[in-house]
């Protein structure tokens, strides 16, 4: 048997090489009883976007799909809520284990996220932020340059030499493979998707509010305000990754919707679609005696979370209060003055100048090391 054919049959050829065959790799029957094919460039109701079926020509289910972007060792994120964040776990010698946070920084996070098919890391988390794992701690003292193709390519101590506890399990939040470009603000712009290590655009054919709502929720906004067609935010460059997008509106990822992929689309960049997302209640005050005061909570990545009091001062408070329609902050209150929140802690070490119109426009830490006992509060006037 030809070596390449053998590798494909075994599911070992990954990335663009596997996609080079250009045809759906296998058929399967969905949970609704409908027979479909797993198409590398089309809808993926069986496997998520980063996977293809590894038994060409045979019936398959999601259990026989492999992630072509995951290198050696396999890596996964556990304990997060959105698929792009969580405790980092690696598989070595057929066993899953965690990674110690000693020397863990954004360079290591970038390697993990790119290995999973994301553009890079948004932040890294330490001290068992996503919960304590079980089993062995397989990697410690990791040192990446940031351009490695696999975490295993970075210098590290293995399980026999590590000196960590699971309270030091490392985590990461990956940059989503979706963005709004050229709109002048994070909530509006030309829709761009990251596929096969390349940013590309989305065609406006059939793109409507159901599709836009999926995009905006994926970006952490409550929903969409409008769809902008005919390259309203300028023409993009590179591939047009998606055409004829059709979402029900309940999907959590635009790639879960049906669409025509890059090899079949019939659009030009003059048809690049844009989206304006609703800011809605992106920030709120909770637990105060009046609506003008309370624990600061922000809406990000589809969930409400708190803000750490580290470095939080009156400049940060002013931004929060003006964003809520008040004149300014009267005072800021630390150490969970309005009670401890629950869920994620979204922001830490904020450094607003005080002139920003949105709390997310302020600089902040890439690693969050707070507990809810440090939830910050604000009193506005």
Q: Tens digits of per-residue pLDDT, 181-239?
A: 999 888 899 999 998 778 999 999 999 999 999 999 888 787 888 999 999 999 999 99
The Cα 5–Cα 9 span in angstroms is: 6
pLDDT value of residue 281: 59
pLDDT value of residue 253: 85
pTM for the whole structure: 0.55
pLDDT value of residue 251: 85
Residues in the chain predicted with pLDDT less than 70, given as ranges, are 1-73, 262-263, 265, 280-281, 302, 366
The Cα 169–Cα 30 span in angstroms is: 37
Measured CA to CA in angstroms, residue 98 lies from 84, 88, 93, 180, 367 at distances of 17, 6, 14, 34, 18
pLDDT value of residue 303: 77
The Cα 303–Cα 70 span in angstroms is: 27
- Tokens 């089309």 locate to 42
Q: Cβ of 61: how many Cβ atoms within 10 Å?
A: 13
State the chain's mean pLDDT as an integer: 80
The Cα 145–Cα 139 span in angstroms is: 16
pLDDT value of residue 20: 27
Residues 6 or more apart from 29 whose CB is under 8 A from it?
Answer: 35, 36, 59
């Amino acid at each position: 048997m030809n070596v390449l054919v053998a590798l494909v049959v075994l599911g070992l050829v990954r990335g663009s090489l596997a996609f080079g065959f250009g045809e759906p790799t296998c058929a399967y029957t969905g949970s609704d009883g409908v027979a479909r094919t797993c198409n590398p460039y089309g809808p993926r109701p069986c496997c998520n976007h980063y996977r293809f079926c590894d038994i060409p020509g045979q019936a398959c289910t999601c259990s026989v799909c492999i992630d072509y972007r995951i290198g050696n060792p396999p890596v996964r994120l556990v304990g997060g809520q959105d698929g792009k964040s969580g405790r980092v776990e690696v598989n070595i010698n057929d066993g899953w284990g965690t990674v110690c946070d000693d020397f863990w920084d954004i360079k290591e996070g970038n390697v993990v996220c790119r290995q999973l098919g994301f553009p890079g890391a948004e932040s890294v988390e330490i001290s068992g932020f996503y919960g304590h794992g079980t089993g062995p701690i397989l990697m410690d003292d990791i040192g990446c340059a940031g351009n490695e193709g696999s975490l295993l390519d970075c210098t590290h101590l293995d399980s026999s030499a590590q000196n960590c506890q699971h309270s030091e399990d490392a985590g990461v939040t990956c940059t989503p493979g979706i963005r709004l470009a050229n709109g002048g603000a994070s909530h509006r712009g030309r829709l761009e998707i990251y596929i096969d290590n390349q940013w590309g655009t989305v065609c406006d054919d059939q793109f409507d509010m159901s599709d836009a709502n999926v995009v905006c929720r994926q970006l952490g906004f409550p929903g969409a305000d409008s769809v902008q067609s005919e390259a309203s935010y300028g023409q993009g460059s590179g591939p047009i990754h998606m055409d004829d997008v059709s979402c029900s509106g309940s999907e959590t990822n635009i790639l879960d919707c049906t669409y025509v992929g890059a090899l079949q689309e019939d659009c030009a960049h003059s048809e690049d679609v844009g989206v304006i997302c609703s800011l809605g209640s992106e920030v709120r005050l909770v637990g105060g005696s009046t609506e003008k005061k309370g624990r600061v909570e922000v809406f990000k990545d589809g969930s409400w979370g708190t803000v750490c009091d580290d470095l939080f001062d009156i400049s940060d408070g002013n931004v929060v209060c003006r964003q809520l329609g008040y004149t300014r902050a009267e005072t800021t209150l630390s150490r969970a003055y309005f009670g401890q929140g629950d869920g994620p802690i979204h922001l830490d070490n904020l450094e607003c100048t005080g002139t920003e119109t949105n709390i997310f426009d302020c600089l902040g830490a890439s690693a969050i090391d707070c507990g809810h006992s440090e939830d910050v509060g604000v009193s506005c006037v």
